[in-house]
Structure 1
Amino acid sequence: MINIRIVIFLLLSNYCVAQDVNFNLGNSKELNYYSEIPFEYVNGKIIVSVLINENKYRFLLDTGAPNLITKRLSTILNLESLQELKISDANQIKSTMNIVQLPNLTIGSIIFENSVALSSQDENNLVFDCFEIDGFIGSNLLRNSIIQIDVKNKILIITNDLKKLHLNNENSSKLSLFGQQSSPFIWLKLTGSKDSGKEQVLLDTGMKGFYDISHKNYIKFKDEKIFSEVANGKGSESIGLSGNSPESEQVRLLLKHMKIANSAFLNISTTTTNDNNSRIGIGLFENGIGTIDFINKKFYFEQYEHNKDLIEKYLPFSRTIINNKLSIGIVWDEKLKAKINYGDEIIEINGKNYENYKLCDFINKSIFENITVSEIKIRNKKGEINIITL
């Protein structure tokens, strides 16, 4: 399988901390609430309908970010900037955004009032444009709620009454909330061929995929026999809100066993990232029903299949988008490194031409899912065209 990694994760930078900015503002208008909300599931993204000033807008559910709206929506709502902030995306790329006070937001039957959001200063953005969304519902809006995500039935439940969810405490683990946006973190138990360890990771519903380990955390585990190194490569494959991650050395890894709450997974493939935090993404929720209890600081997970084997077939390269073109991201195969490089444009895969393919189809559709690549045609940085048989 080959995927373009879209990771939408925002943390406020130290610049924001120095200014004592608090995103944990606003509450639901109702004292007691329970709402079942249908959602769209678009290539690993949960998109819900949000009512603002009697108009419907599309928002992505992203527990790895604070509330965020597009520049277009900010203009429509005629919102004034309260403050300008520096933020970092999943690839540690810094940018500047505004803080705005939001009007009342209605999600399902619940009205949220007096909340704040980041407002993008960019007219165009690959993530906003391709998923046709107007913003993110972030962890700061949900910090006084309990949310249950059922990807199989495409239902999101938001409530403040735990009893209405009929959860099994044996399937729970501790949840910690950090920072000015109440980011949810959980603990994983990682087991390799000989050793085991624990890692605290961000629970990030805005991240496609199952598990990303930060390079910083991997270095701490490296001397233990927990992860198996499959390959090394230099390049970039993930796209954050502010663009591509910088070119860097990364490692492809295999983890034998992972335990989350009372659930177990086998043969987890992952690639190191430049981020400071490791993350569990929406791939977890594709394997069971997850409940994030921000109120009581617990995470519940009911796995569909115990000891789920997540083994993947490895490809010798990963892909990304560079200058609006499908491109080589990281070359993992040592022999292939003499033939293709980071940034080479991918013209064809298995004889199908992608030069004039719609850019957003690479982002919001799983057009390469479960494909077996036997041949690629590339254009290198010198303009030379080569056909490589894999």
Structure 2
Amino acid sequence: MLNMKWKALLCAVFVFSLARGFAQQQTKRVCDTIRYEFIEDKIVIPVTVNGVVVKYIVDTGGQTGTDWEHAQKMGAVGTGASNPIADLNGKKQLYQIAEVKDVRLSPNYTLNSLKTMIFPVIGSFRSLGVVGILGGDAFAESVITFDAREKIMVINYPYRPDRLKVTDGVEMFGGDTRHSIIKMNLGGVEKEVLFDTGAGGFLLLNASDFKDIEEQGSGEKVARAFGINGIGLEGLSEPTEIDKVNVKEMTILGKKFSNVGSLTSELGSTIVGVELLEYGKVVIDYMRNRFYFFPFDTRDTDMGGVPKTWNVSILPANERFEITRIWDSMKDVVAFGDQVVDINGTDITGFPMSQPEIDRVMGAIEGDRAYIVVLKDGKRKKVEIKRE
């Protein structure tokens, strides 16, 4: 008798025609488990490319790219094509396209070839020990399952996982980029939302989408800031107005989340980030364009509303640490771009230009009050900051 537990989902029984042309030439059934590392909100897996053992970030919202140093070691060959890509912050850059051979994503799942964008050497990649990102295009002829409790990914090929019915999932609008975009109910408004394992957090709302939610009476603004949304492949985003908001209710494949806090941005789409995996298993069937979410707990989950955050944000910029986001309560106290030299007694002037280093210092502060020291016009100014 077949095992009815979840783990039985990880073996395939339904035959699927392999009519589409793809570099993947395997014919045997594959059901491989990959143990991943979760580093700084990123899913990192080992990969072997043309005999070179490396690590990549699995980024369902991105497209496959490799830094040029490792692409050379892998024997990448240019295709003569290039691709304009916008990163998390909306900044666009034209990247050359190359092809690498013999890409082993798991013990039994190998691609004869894979196209990859060629990135410059990126500091955040080096700090994570990775050479690039694997987008949905790398898994285009497979079904992948994310299980955060076990910290595993499972690759199925060419069949769906056992007992997985097409009707259990929803249509995915991946297009040529293979992005995991689905329709989702946000406060009574249906929107197309990208599930993006490359994005930290639970929900990041497009400002236009939130406006519709607010007009529906299902969302409210709590606070406003001026600053950047974060760091993408092309560095810091341009500063803009950012709202801290609360969505009264959202539904993901029948699972309801209430009081969901978020920040708005001018991104191309609303994003559900990697934090979704804390609440259930996700299956992405790239071959059939189906998306599945199996919650660990089917009861409604109260997310607690807008979480407290420090009323200033600090990031590496211009070879120093600067204030890069200011909430309304601090707009007359500090200015965007002010240099920060000390955080609550920790001298940061000798720190490497690393966001995780600053996050570690800020995260270690006990209580909701602290101070920073700002250096402006050669003068040091001690400023109280708060979580609010």
Q: TM-score, normalised by structure 1?
A: 0.84
* Equivalence map 1:148-297=2 (5 Å): 148-160=145-157, 164-167=161-164, 172-178=169-175, 180-191=176-187, 196-297=188-289
- Look at both structures and tell me which one has the larger radius of gyration over its CA atoms: 2
User: What is the one-letter code of the residue matched to 2:173?
Assistant: S
Per the alignment, in what secondary structure is the counterpart of residue 341 of structure 1?
A: coil
Match of residue 376 from structure 1:
371
The answer on whether the counterparts of 2:89 and 2:229 sit within 8 Å (CA) in structure 1 is: no
Match of residue 330 from structure 2:
336
The Cα offsets for residues 65-94 of structure 1, whole Å up to 9 and x where unpaired, read as: 111111111221332321233322121212
Match of residue 344 from structure 2:
350
* Identity fraction in percent: 20
Structure 1 runs, 4 residues or longer, greater than 6 Å off? none
| Aligned: 1:57 with 2:50 | no
* Equivalence map 1:98-137=2 (5 Å): 98-109=96-107, 110-120=109-119, 122=120, 124-137=121-134
The Cα offsets for residues 3-52 of structure 1, whole Å up to 9 and x where unpaired, read as: xxxxxxxxxxxxxxxxxxxxx95325344211101111101101111112
The answer on whether the counterparts of 1:130 and 1:363 sit within 8 Å (CA) in structure 2 is: no
Per the alignment, in what secondary structure is the counterpart of residue 265 of structure 1?
A: strand
* One of 289, 313, 316 as aligned partner of 2:311: 316
Per the alignment, in what secondary structure is the counterpart of residue 218 of structure 1?
A: helix
The answer on whether the counterparts of 2:218 and 2:249 sit within 8 Å (CA) in structure 1 is: no
The 1-side partners of 2:166 and 2:370 are apart by: 50
Per the alignment, in what secondary structure is the counterpart of residue 184 of structure 2?
A: strand
Per the alignment, in what secondary structure is the counterpart of residue 176 of structure 1?
A: coil
* Equivalence map 1:75-94=2 (5 Å): 75-82=72-79, 83-94=81-92
The 1-side partners of 2:256 and 2:172 are apart by: 18
Match of residue 13 from structure 1:
none
The 2-side partners of 1:56 and 1:138 are apart by: 18
The 2-side partners of 1:386 and 1:164 are apart by: 60
The answer on whether the counterparts of 1:204 and 1:279 sit within 8 Å (CA) in structure 2 is: yes
Give how far 1:310 is off.
2.5
Match of residue 136 from structure 2:
139
Per the alignment, in what secondary structure is the counterpart of residue 125 of structure 2?
A: helix
Per the alignment, in what secondary structure is the counterpart of residue 95 of structure 1?
A: strand
Higher relative contact order (CA 8 A, sep 6+): 1
User: How many correspondences in the alignment?
Assistant: 359
Give how far 1:383 is off.
4.0
| Aligned: 1:388 with 2:369 | no
User: What is the one-letter code of the residue matched to 1:349?
Assistant: I
The 1-side partners of 2:231 and 2:342 are apart by: 21
Match of residue 300 from structure 1:
292
The 2-side partners of 1:201 and 1:127 are apart by: 26
Give how far 1:266 is off.
2.3
CA gap 1:187/1:73 in 2 versus in 1, 3 angstroms: same
CA gap 1:281/1:77 in 2 versus in 1, 3 angstroms: same
The answer on whether the counterparts of 1:349 and 1:373 sit within 8 Å (CA) in structure 2 is: no
Gaps of 5+ in 1: 1-23
Per the alignment, in what secondary structure is the counterpart of residue 269 of structure 1?
A: strand
The 1-side partners of 2:368 and 2:351 are apart by: 18
The 1-side partners of 2:370 and 2:279 are apart by: 32
The answer on whether the counterparts of 2:186 and 2:249 sit within 8 Å (CA) in structure 1 is: yes
CA gap 1:104/1:266 in 2 versus in 1, 3 angstroms: same
Match of residue 66 from structure 1:
63
Q: After alignment, is 28-37 or 60-69 more displaced?
A: 28-37
CA gap 1:80/1:296 in 2 versus in 1, 3 angstroms: closer
Give how far 1:370 is off.
7.3
Cα RMSD, aligned residues only: 2.4
Give how far 1:246 is off.
0.4
* One of 81, 94, 97 as aligned partner of 2:95: 97
User: What is the one-letter code of the residue matched to 1:200?
Assistant: E
Q: TM-score, normalised by structure 2?
A: 0.85
The answer on whether the counterparts of 1:350 and 1:373 sit within 8 Å (CA) in structure 2 is: no
The answer on whether the counterparts of 1:145 and 1:293 sit within 8 Å (CA) in structure 2 is: yes
CA gap 1:128/1:267 in 2 versus in 1, 3 angstroms: same
